[in-house]
Structure 1
Amino acid sequence: MRGLLQDEAALADAYMAWWTLAGVDCAIGESPTDWLRPAPTKPVSGAPPATAPVIADKPRTLESFLTFLASDPAQPERRWPGAPILPVGGEQATLMVVTDLPDAADMEAGQLLADRAGALFDAMLRAIGLDRSVIHLASLFTARPPGGMVDAADLATVADRMRTHVALARPRRLLLLGDRTIRALLPTDGAAPPEGLRDFNHDGGIVPAVATFHPRLLLTQPAAKAECWRALQSLIEEARP
Structure 2
Amino acid sequence: MTPRQRAMLEEMGIKLFWWPKEQVGGVQVAEAPADAPVEEPIEAPAERAPASAPAARPVAGVPVAAPTAPPRTPIAPAHGATVLAEAPRHFYGGEAMAKGGWLVIADMPPELHGRHGEPFASDAGRLLDNMLRALRLHEGAMPVHLVRTHRGVASGQQGSPRPLGEVLAESAAALAPRLVLAMGPLAAQSLLQSGDPLGRLRGRALPVAMVPGLDMAVVASYHPAYLLRNPADKARAWADLCPAAEEFTRRG
User: TM-score w.r.t. structure 1 length?
Assistant: 0.51
> Which residue matches 2:204?
196
The Cα of 1:109 is off from its aligned counterpart by 10
Equivalent residue runs for 1:97-136 within 5 Å: 97-101=104-108, 104=111, 111-131=118-138, 133=140, 134-136=142-144
From 148, 164, 170, the counterpart of 2:169: 164
How many Å separate the matches in 1 of 2:184 and 2:196? 16
Helix, strand or coil: the match of 1:239? helix
Q: Which runs of 5+ in 2 are unaligned?
A: 1-83, 91-95, 154-161
Helix, strand or coil: the match of 1:131? helix
Equivalent residue runs for 1:1-241 within 5 Å: 87-88=89-90, 89-101=96-108, 104=111, 111-131=118-138, 133=140, 134-141=142-149, 150=152, 158-168=163-173, 169-190=175-196, 192-201=200-209, 202=211, 205-239=214-248
Over 3 Å counting, the alpha-carbon distance change for 1:123 and 1:183 in structure 2 is same
Over 3 Å counting, the alpha-carbon distance change for 1:132 and 1:159 in structure 2 is farther
Over 3 Å counting, the alpha-carbon distance change for 1:86 and 1:166 in structure 2 is closer
**1:9-31 deviations in whole A, cap 9, x for unaligned?**
xxxxxxxxxxxxxxxxxxxxxxx
Over 3 Å counting, the alpha-carbon distance change for 1:85 and 1:190 in structure 2 is closer
Percent of matched pairs sharing the same residue: 24
Q: Which runs of 5+ in 1 are unaligned?
A: 1-75, 78-83, 142-147, 152-156
Helix, strand or coil: the match of 2:216? strand
How many Å separate the matches in 2 of 1:206 and 1:213? 23
Higher helix share: 1
The Cα of 1:186 is off from its aligned counterpart by 1.4
The Cα of 1:99 is off from its aligned counterpart by 1.1
The Cα of 1:131 is off from its aligned counterpart by 2.2
The Cα of 1:229 is off from its aligned counterpart by 1.0
Higher strand share: 2
RMSD: 3.7
The Cα of 1:91 is off from its aligned counterpart by 3.9
> Which residue matches 1:31?
none
Over 3 Å counting, the alpha-carbon distance change for 1:178 and 1:162 in structure 2 is same
Q: 8 Å contact 1:117–1:219 — kept in the other structure?
A: yes
Count residues with an aligned counterpart.
151
